[in-house]
């Protein structure tokens, strides 16, 4: 057992490898031992490829900034030849790939040792991770009766449980930030098109989806983003160029910022008292650091955005199922997909091409509305979720219709009313692990910035981390 493993973030772990204090093989052994000890209670790590990981070490790892660090990739996207995927679905189980995706190539170039995948809900839909293909729900290390979030829930659980110090995720409606909030981690959704989508896609969900990472420290995310940023060959559009980069940004204090405080949802509804407390506590911290914090809320049409988001993702779900069936040369069979995906197909059949394009137009209009708000403000401060992490089963895909699952009372958009706004606008946003409930559940605080202002946002995140460190907090049930 490597006793310091729990205390190292990915950057610190790589430094230990660089000075010869520990080897990549020893770190892989430790990570595998932790999977054996901790994963049975969590069901977060799947499709392990130990032989491939050992072969990568034997072949000589790239001399990247995270050389030798054990790593996991989400079981949705991040296509890789050596890592078959279920993509959260029985229909897509054991999918193989003819070439590596651009994002995986860039992750691999950091020198990490990827040895498996992490669970996701079917189609990446929802704020919980309970896909049938994995034989049961993925559970939160802080309380196994609660969800670690979704859709990057397996990555969140694996990092929170100290199986790995960092893991890949993706975010189309909060899917990095929701697990970050639920698991006490840092998670950032970059500006639209900051990271590559190719060659398997030009964009995800009309540009709303993007890759990302679940990490314990801001600097780990900064290193990974710098390593992976930039469009791939043939990308349909690019993000505004970075300045010196994320790592350089966190090395210097950010400028003093104008921060809008919103302690309700973006439509003015009340949020859970603990979440409101978290927001106000963060506001006081930011004021103590010299930032100006005042109440304000965007006047954008958030309800219209949510309806448009639901149409786009419903059509995307239907398309992915159709393409899978064409590849298999057969019709949909009972048990292939879960109820939410099956309902999404029916829902999408009622959406015309004109309806779809109108939904994309509404998303674009929402981005302009949010951009106007950020003409007066540098940062919007909210909770990440409107409630503490949900109980297992609340957002399972069985017995639910797609539209109600997203828009119904007490369902996804009531529970997560903030995150998708910034997938729609394309703006960068983060969840910071700044608050825990009295019974020990993490609650994230959400910060969003103007389009392209990734470096300002991550610099502010690093300043907050220095002022209120969270790295030593760990879930007791996940310890050996």
Q: Which residues carry out catalysis?
A: 74, 151, 175
User: CA 133, 136, 137, 139 torsion: positive or negative?
Assistant: negative
d(CA 145, CA 142): 9
Name every residue whose Cβ is closer than 8 Å to that of residue 404 and which is 6 or more positions away in sequence.
411
Measured from the Cβ of residue 385, the count of other Cβ atoms closer than 10 Å reads 28
Residue 189: name the closest of 416, 388, 15 by CA: 416
SS3 state at 209: strand
Residue 39: name the closest of 125, 128, 124, 148 by CA: 148
d(CA 301, CA 424): 11
Q: Are 68 and 61 in contact (CB under 8 A)?
A: yes
Q: Tokens standing for 235?
A: 């990308």
Give the side-chain half-sphere CA count within 13 A for 259: 27
Name every residue whose Cβ is closer than 8 Å to that of residue 285 and which is 6 or more positions away in sequence.
434, 464, 467, 468
Distance of CA 38 to CAs 34, 45, 163, 186, Å? 6, 10, 8, 21
Q: Tokens standing for 84?
A: 């078959």
Q: Which residues of 190-215 are buried (b: 16+ CB within 10 A; e: fewer)?
A: bbbbbbbbbeeeebbbbbbbbbbbbb
Q: Are 405 and 128 in contact (CB under 8 A)?
A: no
């Amino acid at each position: 057992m490597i006793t310091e493993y729990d205390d190292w973030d990915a950057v610190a772990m790589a430094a230990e490898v660089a000075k010869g204090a520990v080897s990549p093989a020893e770190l892989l052994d430790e990570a595998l031992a932790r999977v054996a000890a901790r994963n049975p209670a969590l069901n977060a790590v799947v499709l392990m490829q130990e032989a491939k990981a050992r072969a990568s070490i034997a072949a000589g790892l790239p001399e990247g900034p995270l050389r030798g660090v054990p790593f996991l990739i989400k079981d949705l996207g991040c296509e890789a030849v050596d890592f078959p995927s279920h993509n959260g679905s029985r229909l897509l189980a054991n999918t193989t790939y003819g070439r590596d995706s651009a994002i995986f190539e860039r992750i691999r170039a950091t020198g990490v040792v990827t040895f498996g995948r992490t669970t996701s809900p079917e189609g990446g839909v929802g704020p919980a991770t309970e896909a049938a293909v994995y034989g049961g729900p993925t559970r939160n290390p802080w309380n196994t009766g609660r969800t670690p979030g979704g859709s990057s829930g397996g990555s969140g659980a694996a990092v929170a449980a100290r199986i790995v110090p960092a893991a890949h995720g993706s975010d189309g409606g909060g899917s990095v930030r929701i697990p970050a909030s639920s698991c006490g981690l840092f998670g950032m959704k970059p500006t639209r098109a900051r990271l590559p989508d190719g060659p398997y896609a030009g964009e995800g969900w009309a540009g709303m989806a993007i890759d990302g990472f679940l990490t314990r420290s801001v600097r780990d995310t900064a290193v990974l983003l710098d390593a992976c940023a930039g469009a791939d060959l043939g990308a349909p559009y690019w993000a505004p160029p970075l300045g010196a980069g994320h790592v350089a940004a966190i090395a210097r204090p950010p400028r003093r910022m104008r921060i809008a405080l919103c302690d309700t949802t973006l439509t003015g509804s009340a949020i859970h008292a603990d979440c409101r407390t978290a927001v106000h506590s963060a506001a006081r911290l930011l004021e103590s650091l010299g930032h100006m914090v005042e109440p304000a809320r965007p006047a954008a049409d958030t309800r219209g955005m949510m309806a448009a988001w639901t149409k786009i993702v419903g059509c995307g779900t239907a398309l992915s199922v159709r393409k899978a069936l064409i590849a298999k040369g057969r019709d949909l069979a009972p048990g292939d997909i879960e109820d939410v995906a099956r309902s999404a197909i029916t829902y999408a059949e009622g959406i015309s091409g004109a309806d779809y394009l109108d939904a994309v137009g509404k998303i674009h209009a929402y981005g302009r509305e949010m951009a106007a708000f950020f003409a007066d403000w540098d940062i919007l401060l909210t909770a990440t979720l409107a409630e503490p992490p949900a109980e297992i089963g609340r957002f399972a895909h069985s017995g639910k219709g797609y539209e109600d699952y997203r828009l119904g009372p007490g369902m996804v958009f009531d529970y997560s009313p903030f995150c998708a706004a910034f997938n729609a606008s394309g703006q960068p946003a983060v969840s910071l692990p700044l608050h825990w409930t009295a019974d020990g559940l993490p609650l994230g605080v959400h910060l969003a910035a103007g389009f392209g202002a990734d470096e300002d946002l991550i610099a502010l995140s690093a300043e907050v981390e220095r002022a209120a460190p969270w790295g030593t907090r760990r879930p007791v049930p996940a310890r050996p």
